[in-house]
A and B are shown apart, each in its own frame.
Chain A
Amino acid sequence: MTDWRPSAPFGALQRRARLLAGIRAFFAARDVLEIDVPALGLAGVTDVHIDNLVVAGEPLGYLQSSPEYFLKRLLAVHPAPIYYLGKAFRAGEQGRLHHPEFTLLEWYRPGWDDRALMDEVEALLRALGAAGAAPCPRLDYGTCFRDALGVDLHRADDIRLRTLAAEAAGQPMSRWRDEPRAICLDLLFSLRVEPRLPAGVVFVTDYPVCQAALARVVDTPDGVPVARRFEVFLDRVELANGYWELTDAAEQRRRFAVDAELRRVLDKPVRPADERLLAALDAGLPACAGVALGVDRLLMQLLGASHIREVLAFAEG
């Protein structure tokens, strides 16, 4: 029989409506402007591990995996606090916590750094009922890693990380011999570190440089270079990812080229860099911090849902 009914119970849809209204009220009260950027763009992302859904046509269109590039182009012209609340798309992501089409909240604060933005994320989660009155813990990535695995991440060489990753995956070392450091860290963080994070809202800060993505790299007082990136976990589920944004066009170009090279190595399609974004960075992106938050996962936690389809009106495919 054809399954035509909604996947979420009506109560979850009512809670979703209240959550979206709550988010908009929070930002309205803080004079952050909602921007409705396109879901379909002319460029995709170069990210090694994010695949755009490509829309056939002339020219090809890319369903946006986040509103980031549009919002940054806007910031280069209007340096005002802005947010987007709407759909984002990622090919091939499907599971208990993933759906190819999902709802993303992303916002930018010109003049702020990652620390100030974390305060605002915490205030938002408190206003929405996802965080209690007590301050949420902020743990740096290296400390979480050491507590879970007993290893100083900044000193551990690639062989040590590959050995740990192979062990965690239950795979012979031969299958992990050539894995880059970043992939070993992805695996170890997901399988070994996340399950040991405290419950509730937790900020993980100061990422290793190989996980910098679009964040600035700054030396700690001990002289260790770290990415000024943070992630928010809610009951050990990744909820949001934020950066003190990279504004250096040359460095951005270099990172896009590194992405493209990695894609070639991994035999994945190489996407052209978004020239409009790079031109906007050339014109000058104001110093800013930005963060993206998965709204469906937040709703899952508020409702105690165990699968994302329980909070989506229709979870097809």
Chain B
Amino acid sequence: MAVYSTSEFRSGLKVMLDGDPCSILENEFVKPGKGQAFNRVRMRNLKTGRVWERTFKSGDSLEGADVIDVTMQYLYNDGEHWHFMTPETFEQCQADGMIVGDAARWLREQDNCVVTLYNGMPLAVTPPNHVELEIADTDPGMRGDTATGGTKPAKLVTGAVVKVPLFLNVGDVVRVDTRTGEYLSRARE
């Protein structure tokens, strides 16, 4: 794996720190006029999701991490593992609940998502920023109440619960932002 010096630390670069793969978020150059230069680096530990702040002497280096993001199709869940496939190669991999985590709430079979592979093994699963999912369960819709801004909980086919406007019904398809879990609009389908 390549080795990167502090001057090459850019947002998004994946490096190894204390044995864990990390993604660099921010890199600030700090230098007293006559003194040693440093880089204050914020990075996310890709295994735990925690953000670390570390200061390096400028010119120090870290080993790159073999981490790649691959767009894969979510196939099915066998009760224990989630199975994914690269559509072009038909290569498959599986990930457990620890790795899939919150993404499970948004995954519908056949949909694409991004699987982060570390040394070829799934490390994290990221759903698309926006998904369109059908409402599986909610209180009956109330006509003529589109302007008040009232909301009610609705359970989607994937299991996620989002707040939706009062007029929506079971079977309606909604567009949701997976990063915030917020309803965006009604989808035309």
Contact = CB atoms under 8 A, between A and B. Distances in A.
B34 A187 contact: no
A168 B37 contact: no
A170 B57 contact: no
Contact of B52 (A95, A170, A231): A170
Contacts of B138: none
A219 interface: no
A111 B58 CA distance: 39
A154 interface: no
A272 interface: no
A220 interface: no
B4 interface: no
Interface in A93-127: 93-98
B31 A98 contact: yes
Contacts, number: 71
B28 A96 contact: yes
A282 interface: no
14 contacts: A49-B37, A92-B7, A93-B37, A95-B28, A95-B31, A169-B38, A169-B54, A170-B54, A171-B55, A183-B36, A189-B35, A190-B30, A191-B40, A292-B33
A16 B31 CA distance: 24
Given A169-B55, A170-B55, 6 more contacts: A96-B29, A169-B54, A183-B36, A190-B31, A191-B40, A238-B32
Interface of A: 47-50, 92-98, 168-172, 182-183, 185-187, 189-191, 211, 213, 231, 238, 241, 292, 294
Contacts of A238: 32-33
Interface residues of B, number: 21
B176 to A, nearest CB: 35
Nearest to A190: B30
A172 B56 CA distance: 11
B20 interface: no
Interface in B78-124: none
Nearest to B39: A95
A186 B55 contact: no
A211 B53 CA distance: 27
B34 A211 contact: yes
A102 B28 CA distance: 19
A169 B58 CA distance: 13
A269 to B, nearest CB: 13
Contacts of B28: 95-96
Contacts of A185: 35
A300 to B, nearest CB: 15
